[in-house]
Amino acid sequence: MRFTKTLLSLALLAATMTLIANAQDAKAKFTLPHDTFLGETILPAGQYTVTLALDGLAKAMVVSETGTTRSMFVLPVSTDAYAACEKSTVTIARSAGQWNVQSICFAGSQVAVYFPAPAEKTAIAKAAPAPTNPAGSK
């Protein structure tokens, strides 16, 4: 019984170590020249480090190098595991008067992640107040 428990524990440890080895993180540093949206959050212009965790669900952790904002986690909408970038890059684009992060490519692991543009804010029309009848009129 003791031998079986020890053997099972060793097998579990080996499986865990294999999963950890396969889930290597990707890391990149970049500078944003403008205040830029990443999903629904705006990142002030400055230097950032992004770490991508590839443990089943891709998650990007963005940390400000200049201390202008807190750390944040972002979930990309898609991932390209066969990206061909020679150096780590961030792609931003201007749309509707604002800058948006479109993608980040991690050169070391050849992975690219893509982010959605923030939802456009639309103004809600206000209705004029309903007319009221003055007292005594029909």
Q: For 108-138, what is each residue's pLDDT tens digit?
A: 888 999 998 877 655 555 666 666 666 665 5
131 occurs within a structural domain: no
Question: What is the per-residue pLDDT across 103-116, written as a single tens digit (0 to 9) for each?
Answer: 999 988 889 999 98
34 occurs within a structural domain: yes
7 occurs within a structural domain: no
Band of residue 62 on the pLDDT scale cut at 50, 70, 90: very high
- Pick from 100, 79, 78, 80: which is nearest to 91 by CA? 100
Strand locations in 24-134 (E)? 26-32, 36-38, 41-43, 46-55, 57-64, 72-74, 78-80, 89-95, 98-106, 111-114
2 occurs within a structural domain: no
Phi and psi, residue 17, nearest 5°: -65, -40
Domain count, the chain: 1
Domain that holds residue 61: 23-114
122 occurs within a structural domain: no
